Structure formats: C-alpha cells, structure tokens
Structure 1
Amino acid sequence: MGDAAATANLAAAVGDVLPSILGRDGPRRYLLLVQQPAEARGSGGLPGNWGEIVADGGHLELVASGRISDLDDRMSPAGQRAVEAGPGHRALYGYTFQDQLWQNTTLDPDFTVAADIARQLWDQTGGSPLDGVLSVDPQAVAAVLTLVGSLDLSDGTVLGPDNAAEFLLHGQYLTLGDDADANSARVDRLGEAVDRAWARLTTGDLPGPRVIATTFGPVVEGRHLSFASFDEDEGVVLERLGLAGSVPRPERDGVGVVTFNLGQNKIDYFLERVTSYRARWDPLTGSVSGTYTVQLSNAAPAVGLPAPIIDYGGPVATDPGLAPGENFLQAYLYTALPPVAVRVDGELVMRQGGIDDRGWEVTVVAIRVPPGGSVIIEVDVSGAIAPDGAWTLDVVRQPAVNGDRLSAELEVVGGAAGLAVDGLEPGEGGTLRVERGLDGPIRVGVSAR
C-alpha cells in the first residue's frame, strides 16, 4: 500500500511539472549534449555534439545543433572563462581549467553539476538563457530508434535499434580513415543521426506511455539518459524519477569509481571495471574498516585498429608516450570513509589522502593499463559511522560502455543474528554479501530490528 501511494504521489508530481517543462507557461530552452562513453567522462563520456531545444506550448523543436568544438570557438580561451563550482569539484576537476572546455563539461559524475557548468559556459557563448540540460548517449539513441524506427543517413549508413549503440560507440571508427577530415565526418554523421531521430520523435506517431516507459526505463536507470532542470520544483521531481543523474551523498558507508580518459581516444570501448568492497563493522561503536578493490581490464589490442581508437589522440607536445592499445586514464576512487592506504598492483602509492567532495572522500590515481592487461587498485579505509545500529552502502555509478559489477561483503562484529537485512544475503563465515551489476541505483544495509 505504501509503494502504491508513493507511486501515485510521484505520478501526481510529474503531472504538476510536465506541462511547465514542455512550455505551457512560455518558451523553455534546453541544451542537448550527446555523450560518447568510449572516451570516458564522469557523467558518461565526451560530449561530441550539442543541440538547442525549444519547448513552447507542448511543441518541441531542435532549433540548432552542431559539433561541441563550435561552442568553444564562440568563447574566449580556457583560463579566461568564468566557471563556479563547489570546492571539491574545483580540486578534482578544475586543474589547468579542464572544466572550462566544452569537451570536459561532463567530467563530474553528478550530472546536475555538469549541467550547471554547461549552463555557465553556454551563457558565455552569447546563447539565450537555458532552463535545463538533456544528455543522451548511444544507448539512449538506440532506445529512441526502438520507438521511431531505423534511420537512413546521407552516407548510406542505416541505423536501427539493434545496431545503433554498437555502431556509434565503435563501428563508426572502423569505417572511415584516421585523418582530421574523417574525424569531422564522424562527428557530422552523429549529428545527422541525432537530428533525424529527433525529427521522428517529435513529429511521428509514438506508442503509448507504457511502451515508452518500458523502453526508456533501463536507459534512465543506467544513466544513459539524464535531464537536469534549473527550476527547483522540477528538479526535485526529476530526482525522484531518477532522471537527474545526481550522485547520492553517502548516508553511512559507500564506494565508487569514476574514470576519465587521458589518451583522447575511444579506447574505453574495451575497458571493463570489476569492483569489490570487504568491510568489518561494529554496531556498538560504529567503527568500520575495509578495502575497496577496483580491477581495470583493457581488452584493446596493440595493433589492427584505427588510430582514433587505440593511439594517443592529443597534441604531439603533450604526448605521454603511450604505446598503441594502452589505456591512460585517471581513476577517481570514491569512499565514504577516509582512505588510509592506496595500492596499485600491490605497490603502495599513497598512505593517506582524499579530497572532500559532497560528503565523499575522493582519491585520484593516474593509471596505464596495457593492451590485454589489467591493473588492480586497492583502497584501505577506516573510520566510524553513527553508532545507531545501522550500516548502509551507497555506490557512485558512472555510465560506461561495459556495465560495472560490484561485490560487497560485510562482517558484523558480534554476528548478524537479530539484524534486519536489506539487499544482502548470508555469506561464508557468517558474513553478509551482495553481488550485482551497477545498471541501476543500489543501496543495501542492515539495522537493528
């Protein structure tokens, strides 16, 4: 009954804000960012294309679109732009003005933060004020094609619901050359696909709400589609719907990993991340200690693929000497408890550290993963949560090409008998454990009955 009431309340809230989002009370303007997770950023991937959407009286129109580099060309150089964000974001992502570049607006894993940075940069292009930001990636494009049908592009490419995600993530880089003209052609082809899909979506006949919800539900849960409104009431409803793409503040315990592609290529198509957390909790004192482990595996070959996928794609002057197929990335390791040691492949690289970012301790490590190889990062944590007889685990999730997996195991001092368990199952030696993919929100925990 409680769930039914909550669903009814949410439906009523959606009914209250949807008309205003669609321009009932006057035109609304939204920025569309098309992300490429094969070149990872915190909120998903490099935003390679943009669009400007106007909603007026329930009618949606894509009034402008282009390459993301077009927006940079309209502005003063990075370093002369004004971007305001919290101190945690600035310490983690604002170095050398990285978050002042349009291709890095999505560095932060919290899309509401990324959207606000995009809004600030948009204002500096001379664009009309924005009311929100919408983000889609190739999986979201594929979901749209499930509803509107296949697209015939001008170069003869046919994109449908079964091949769109794979083609946009990887296949398109196999069919054109390696030079600048080829790169421009790829960006333009993606822009054409988005323009045509949008036209179909807003002018064609669509199935009923149930089919639309079934189609987009997994895409939203996986954060492949996000929408942030700058209206406070609308933002609350979008948060409840899971559309806002925000990062939860850890209630008690928590972990997560975010990776940022430093090689300026599309090698993250081959990146797989498997994570685990082993913790020991004392319900009487609230003390918790544990180890968060992240295994980064790179299935990219060293030869046989075009340069945009496996070679360094940045300026020659900043080439770090990457070998073909080597994945060069920055790993942001989120823990709710203070880190006391960080090891990479067993070697101690940091005794303590962590930058406070909205309730999380974030440790940053630069990693090179060889072609066909793996790297293991371990973070030891130790601290205390409220001694109220409850332990919960929140997880920071990043939309990625290959979905992450997490296994968590909790040892309860004194045993788990008599505790109420949510989302955990009995493990070996009296522990509690969970193992699942991170294609949706996750919070597990135990508490006194």
Structure 2
Amino acid sequence: MAREKRESGSRRRRWPWVLLGLGVLFFVLVALAVLARPMADVKPEAEAAKAELERAQDAIEAQDVKTAETHVALARQHVDRASDLVNGFGGDVWRWVPVAGGGVKDVRHLVAALDHATSMAEIGTQVYPELMQSDDLVQGKRIDLDKLDGILADLELAGTHLRAASDDLAEVKGNTPFVGDAVADARDEASARIDPLRSTYDEAEPVLEALPDVLGQDQESKYLVAIMNPAEQRYSGGATLTLVPLMFDKGNIEFGDTVTNEDIVADGRGRIGWPKVVGNPFHRKGKARLVSATFSPYWTQSGEELLRAWKVRFDEDYEGVIAVDLVALARLMNLTGPVQAEGVGELNAGNLVKVLAGSYDKYASEEQRREINRAVVPAFREKLFQGGKFFEKFQVLARAAKGRHFALYFRDTRLQTAFQHRHLSGDLSGTDHDYLGVFSQNTNFSKADYWQARTVDSDVKLKTDGSAEVTVKITVDNDSPPFTPPWAHGAVAPDSEDPGWGYFTRYNGSAVALFMPRGAELQGAVDVDGEPWDPVVRQVLDRPYIYRNVTLEPQASTVITVKYRVPDAAVVDGSSLLYHLDIDQQGMVTKQKYTVTLHVPEGYGPTATPEGWKLVNGRTLRFSSGDSDESKRLEVDLARL
C-alpha cells in the first residue's frame, strides 16, 4: 500500500512538468504557426513574378521592349517580396525544424533561382535593343568595339545569373512530406526552362570570349571568305568558286579584291601544288586546281588546305576561312531584304540561288559567268555588315551551320576550339556510336548538282549487347531538265548534244560517299542498282567511308544499298540501352531527306517516344528529317520489359 502511495505521489508530482512541457510545446507550435504565416505568402508572390516574366518574354518576342521592361519591373517587386518572406526571421526559425526545415530550404533555393532569372531578364531588356534593334553596332566598314565590349560584359553577367539559378535548382530536394511533390514539380518546371538556356550559354561563352580577337580588337585579323556554290558539290559543301580577303583591324572592316575561279586559271597558273594537311586522304598529289582544296568533309582539313593553296597561288597568308554558301546568303536576305547586283539585277531570298547557281546555261561567255560569281561578294558584304540586326544575322548563320551551309576555320587553336564547341567548325560529328553521313563530290565539272536530290533510308536492328546491324539505302536522283545550250536562246537545238561535262551539261557526275560509324564492318558486297560491288573502305580521322562514282543523265537515278555492323550503336547499362545516332547533312540546294527505322531488341521497349520519332509498333520506331536540313543528334532510351 505504501508503495502504491509513493508511485501515485510521484505521478502527481510529474503532472506539473508534463503540463508545463505541453504548454511550452503549444507555445512553440503557435509561435511556429505565426512565423509560418508569412511563408504562406511566398507561393503567390513567386507565381506572380513568374507570370510577369512570361509576359515580358511575350513582349520581347513582339519586339515591344518598353512593355517588357514594365513586366520585368513588376516581377522584381514580387520576387523581392517573396525573398524577404522566405529569408526573414520566420524562415530562419523554420529551417531548423526537423522535416519541415527541408521544405524551407527548398523554397529558399526556388526563390533564389527566380531572383537570378529576374536579374537575367533585367539585363536582357537592356541588351536586347542594342543587339536586335540598334543599327550602330556595325556601320558600313566599322564595328563599335567599345559598345561590343559593353554588350559582352552584360552577357557575361547574365550568364553568371543563369548558372547561379541552375545551381540553386539543383539544390532543391523536393522530399519534404506533404509539400515535397509540389516543390519538386516547381523545380522541374523551372529546370525545363533554365537548363536549355544554360546549355546554350555554355556553348556560346567561348565564342563570346573569342569574338573581340576574331574582330581584330588588338591587332589585325585576316581571313579568306569562301563563297560556296552548291551547284558544284564537294564533300565539304559547294565548290569555292568565289573568294575574297576580309580584314578586321581595331574595328575597321576591309574587303580585298574578289577572285573567281576564272581569275585563278586565267594566267596559266590554274594548277598548283601545295603542302598536304597531315591525315587528309583527299589531298591531290602533284598539281591541282585551287577549287580541289576543299574535298575533305572536315573544314579543319579543307580550310587549312585552302589557305595553303592560296599561299602558293597568291603568296598571301591568312588566319582562317569563313565559308558560306548561297543557301545561307539567301536566308540572310530573308532577314534583310534584296540587293541590286551589277549586271544581274535584283537578288533576293527567292531568286539568289537560282540566278547565281542554277542559270549557268544562260550565259555563254566566260566574262558573263565571272560577273555572276563576282556579284555574290557585294551581296554578302551588304547583307552581313550593313543595316543592323547583327545578332539576328549571326543566329541565321548559326542555324545555317547546322545544315553545313556555313563554317569557320581558325589556325589559332583557342579560337578554333571556341567555335568548334558552338558547332560552327564544319567538322563531322565525333561520335563513337551510330553515325550517318552521305555526301557527293562533283566529278564532271558540271553545275548539275543544282538539281541533285537524295534520300537516305537507314534500317537499324539493335542488339542487346549494344551492337546493331544497319542497312543504308541511298537514292540519288538527277532531276535536271533537258540540255539547253546557251546559244539556243531558250530553245533546244535539234542537232545539239549534251557534252556530258562542263558548265552546260545536265549530266550529273558524282562520287557518292557514305561515311560510316567508327568500327563499322561491311556485311557482304554493296548493291548498286541490283549489281554487287566490292568497295575499298577508306579512313579519314578514324571515320570509315566508301564512295562510288556515278554519272546520271537527266531524270536518271541510282540506288546504292550498304549493309554493315556497328559495334557500339548503344550504351548498355544494366537493364537499359541508350541508342545514339548522329546525322550529318551536306549543304545542298535540294534538302537531303533521311528516314531512320529502329528495331528494338525483343524484351525491350522505349521508356518514352522521343521527340521527332514515331512509334510504328511496340518494337519499331521511325524518325524522318522532314523538311529540315539540319544535322541531328538523336537518342532513344530503351528499358527491359
């Protein structure tokens, strides 16, 4: 009995402490609830800021900078309020509370990312008019390097905010009970916008840093501009039938005298020899024409070969090559409008390629053809350096580079690496996985590549070990009209015969090449129009290739079918396969069309249908290039079922 009394008394003595503890806990909970009240206002402020930034983006796309500035200013007000709320005393206390504290930390990172995004928008509204609407960055023969430096500094600051926003989003865990899913969704939505921007900036940053040196900020920079004519193809692109020196010196722009292919051969020095670029199997031994310098599909080889040939022919050294074809120039005219060319008339986006590449048979004399080729340089000079919109013009050329209509080569390794990183170097993909590149090279000095059309079908049977059996079918069509000699004045002369070569022929002579994946092994003979053919497999920079010489009369075609095994088409990771395919295009007048059919191994299926692919059935996917002529990097993620 005494023991029971002692225990009862002990319990009675503990009750005050328990009540006091409950009271303290209640007080703490009430205090935390009071402190959390401002936290509840963070979400609407953040959502309001996001909405204002979206309105600002719409305004910028409409080129309404004033309205964009207003929306960005409103976004800044909402972001600052959200930041004050989440980083105030209440947030400092709540972040130490078990479980709930993780949510506070996540929200702080989300608001910080939004803060950085708003700072980027503020910089953007300042820089946009200078880049996109100002006409005084580039005027005639001068670049305002001081203004350019200011723009580059602003872009660098925007890049700093961009990376900080990306880093903040990476810190968001999204695993707090009750609110974790919502936080994770907000993080993923923000990352979907920020990550592509960061990737683009990371690619562009070396180019931005190199730009002042390219433009001769400290010393003169000298380049050779090569205008490529897609009516006569090389593996690198159109033949470089028109060339002109270009110099940048402390903001001053100067073009040298235009040189055409006719000028080069006019004085009896049409064939010369120059030192070979190591590793270039396309270098012609002995003497060759300067237009033969760009046979390699890699501009790091073709550009250097061209500079060496130019040095031998004209005794002039240059630091790089700017290669641009007529298709890219026409796209510039889409942006800037037409020009008047002496002896040719108006050149515009719709007629440029046809007039300068598809009308050789209208001009019987060599002098007339020379004037056609000369007309392209003033058009290039005016469209690139006059009329403002300098940044938009660079965007047009960057997109053209994806179709190999534009390329840059620099002898300076730092500059070359910078532009290579931005995919502007004109080299083939360096992938070690599946690869597809079909190119043709003119062999009969004709301009019939203007009418050449190609379709490429790749059928890929993927294996569980990551290898693949690939069948590539190449169809080449010569869609040229009948032969019309220039002396017939538009009518076919009854006794005229197509010479089969030269300016006026409609015959299309080509070395059609297939560049294959590294390590590819041919499976049996190649089929050419139903006949077997045993090709020699050659290598350029570790990429195997084969080629077949064909000559197609008007409206004729040829079909080449190649089967090979790819050892590393996909990466094997446990129960998953990641298929990689890089496709390189050739800059042509008629866009080359690709179709890729991927057969998935039995027991596997795609985790999702990738963008651009169609699910034919459960184990077959198909990709088509459609109307795009851009080079592609494709991936398909497969998992064991």
Give 1:90-101 correspondences, 5 Å limit.
90=281, 93-94=282-283, 97=286, 100-101=288-289
Judge conservation of contact 1:267–1:310 (CA < 8 Å) in 2: no
**Worse-superposed segment, 5-14 or 40-49:** 5-14
Identity of matched residues, %: 21
Structure 1: runs of 5+ lacking an equivalent? 316-322
Which of 429, 434, 438 is matched with 2:623 structurally? 434
Which of 406, 411, 417 is matched with 1:230 structurally? 411
Query: Do structure 1's residue 27 and structure 2's residue 214 form an aligned pair?
Result: no
Secondary structure in 2 matching 1:107: coil
Residue type at the aligned position of 1:36: N
Judge conservation of contact 1:10–1:240 (CA < 8 Å) in 2: yes
Structure 2 partner of 1:131:
319
Query: Do structure 1's residue 346 and structure 2's residue 530 form an aligned pair?
Result: yes
Compute the displacement of 1:29 (Å): 0.5
Structure 2 partner of 1:184:
367
Compute the displacement of 1:63 (Å): 2.0
Structure 1 partner of 2:580:
392
| Separation in structure 2 between the aligned mates of residue 77 and residue 186 of structure 1, nearest angstrom | 17
Compute the displacement of 1:396 (Å): 2.9
Residue type at the aligned position of 1:61: E
**Worse-superposed segment, 22-31 or 148-157:** 148-157
Compute the displacement of 1:97 (Å): 4.8
Task: Evaluate the alpha carbon distance shift between residue 286 and residue 205 of structure 1 in structure 2; reply closer, same or farther with a 3 A threshold.
Answer: closer
Secondary structure in 1 matching 2:201: helix
Residue type at the aligned position of 1:41: R
| Separation in structure 2 between the aligned mates of residue 259 and residue 361 of structure 1, nearest angstrom | 15
| Separation in structure 2 between the aligned mates of residue 422 and residue 251 of structure 1, nearest angstrom | 21
Task: Evaluate the alpha carbon distance shift between residue 256 and residue 174 of structure 1 in structure 2; reply closer, same or farther with a 3 A threshold.
Answer: same
Structure 1 partner of 2:259:
66
Secondary structure in 1 matching 2:439: strand
Secondary structure in 1 matching 2:313: coil
Query: Do structure 1's residue 114 and structure 2's residue 114 form an aligned pair?
Result: no
Compute the displacement of 1:188 (Å): 2.4
Secondary structure in 2 matching 1:274: strand
Query: Do structure 1's residue 405 and structure 2's residue 580 form an aligned pair?
Result: no
| Separation in structure 2 between the aligned mates of residue 348 and residue 257 of structure 1, nearest angstrom | 20
Structure 1 partner of 2:232:
39
Query: Do structure 1's residue 373 and structure 2's residue 556 form an aligned pair?
Result: yes
Task: Evaluate the alpha carbon distance shift between residue 359 and residue 397 of structure 1 in structure 2; reply closer, same or farther with a 3 A threshold.
Answer: farther
Which of 400, 408, 420 is matched with 1:239 structurally? 420
Query: Do structure 1's residue 159 and structure 2's residue 352 form an aligned pair?
Result: no
Task: Evaluate the alpha carbon distance shift between residue 310 and residue 111 of structure 1 in structure 2; reply closer, same or farther with a 3 A threshold.
Answer: farther
Judge conservation of contact 2:242–2:258 (CA < 8 Å) in 1: yes
Query: Do structure 1's residue 103 and structure 2's residue 291 form an aligned pair?
Result: yes
Secondary structure in 2 matching 1:417: strand
Deviations 1:212-244 (A, max 9, x none): 345434423222222112222221221233321
| Separation in structure 2 between the aligned mates of residue 382 and residue 10 of structure 1, nearest angstrom | 33
Compute the displacement of 1:186 (Å): 1.6
Compute the displacement of 1:4 (Å): 2.0
Compute the displacement of 1:72 (Å): 5.8
| Separation in structure 2 between the aligned mates of residue 49 and residue 123 of structure 1, nearest angstrom | 16
Deviations 1:67-112 (A, max 9, x none): 13544678977574322231xx32xx235558x4211222112222
Secondary structure in 2 matching 1:300: coil
Query: Do structure 1's residue 175 and structure 2's residue 356 form an aligned pair?
Result: no
Structure 2 partner of 1:335:
516
**Worse-superposed segment, 224-233 or 28-37:** 224-233
Richer in helix (by share): 2
Residue type at the aligned position of 1:444: L
| Separation in structure 2 between the aligned mates of residue 126 and residue 391 of structure 1, nearest angstrom | 49
Give 1:186-265 correspondences, 5 Å limit.
186-195=369-378, 197-199=380-382, 201-202=384-385, 204-207=386-389, 209=391, 211-213=392-394, 215-265=396-446
Deviations 1:339-380 (A, max 9, x none): 232110121111x64112223221111112232121100001
Residue type at the aligned position of 1:269: Y
Richer in strand (by share): 1
Structure 1 partner of 2:185:
none
Residue type at the aligned position of 1:297: D
Compute the displacement of 1:27 (Å): 0.2
Judge conservation of contact 1:72–1:102 (CA < 8 Å) in 2: no
Judge conservation of contact 2:344–2:372 (CA < 8 Å) in 1: no
Judge conservation of contact 1:174–1:305 (CA < 8 Å) in 2: yes
Structure 1 partner of 2:248:
55
Compute the displacement of 1:137 (Å): 1.5
Aligned-CA RMSD value: 2.9
| Stretches of 4+ aligned residues off by more than 6 angstroms | 73-77
Which of 301, 311, 314 is matched with 2:481 structurally? 301
Q: Which of the pair has more CA radius of gyration?
A: 2
Judge conservation of contact 2:356–2:372 (CA < 8 Å) in 1: no
Compute the displacement of 1:427 (Å): 1.8
Secondary structure in 1 matching 2:630: coil
Structure 2 partner of 1:277:
458
Residue type at the aligned position of 1:347: E
Compute the displacement of 1:58 (Å): 2.1
Judge conservation of contact 2:272–2:309 (CA < 8 Å) in 1: no
Judge conservation of contact 1:251–1:394 (CA < 8 Å) in 2: no
| Separation in structure 2 between the aligned mates of residue 397 and residue 383 of structure 1, nearest angstrom | 20
Structure 2 partner of 1:444:
634
Structure 1 partner of 2:210:
17
Compute the displacement of 1:281 (Å): 1.4
Residue type at the aligned position of 2:405: H
Compute the displacement of 1:42 (Å): 1.0
Deviations 1:256-311 (A, max 9, x none): 2111111211111111000011011112x23321211100011113333549x964
Higher relative CO (Cα under 8 Å, sequence separation at least 6) belongs to 1
Judge conservation of contact 1:249–1:359 (CA < 8 Å) in 2: no
| Separation in structure 1 between the aligned mates of residue 344 and residue 571 of structure 2, nearest angstrom | 63
Secondary structure in 2 matching 1:427: strand
Deviations 1:398-438 (A, max 9, x none): 11111111111111222432656644332246212211145
Deviations 1:23-77 (A, max 9, x none): 0120000001111111111111221111011111122210222113544678977
Secondary structure in 2 matching 1:9: helix
Compute the displacement of 1:167 (Å): 1.3
Residue type at the aligned position of 1:170: G
Aligned positions, number? 428
Residue type at the aligned position of 1:237: A
Structure 2: runs of 5+ lacking an equivalent? 1-193, 488-496
Secondary structure in 2 matching 1:124: helix
| Separation in structure 1 between the aligned mates of residue 405 and residue 498 of structure 2, nearest angstrom | 24
Compute the displacement of 1:447 (Å): 3.8
| Separation in structure 2 between the aligned mates of residue 46 and residue 260 of structure 1, nearest angstrom | 9
| Separation in structure 2 between the aligned mates of residue 42 and residue 76 of structure 1, nearest angstrom | 25
| Separation in structure 2 between the aligned mates of residue 303 and residue 45 of structure 1, nearest angstrom | 22
Task: Evaluate the alpha carbon distance shift between residue 332 and residue 64 of structure 1 in structure 2; reply closer, same or farther with a 3 A threshold.
Answer: same
Task: Evaluate the alpha carbon distance shift between residue 417 and residue 246 of structure 1 in structure 2; reply closer, same or farther with a 3 A threshold.
Answer: same
Residue type at the aligned position of 1:82: P
Judge conservation of contact 2:398–2:406 (CA < 8 Å) in 1: no
TM norm structure 2: 0.62
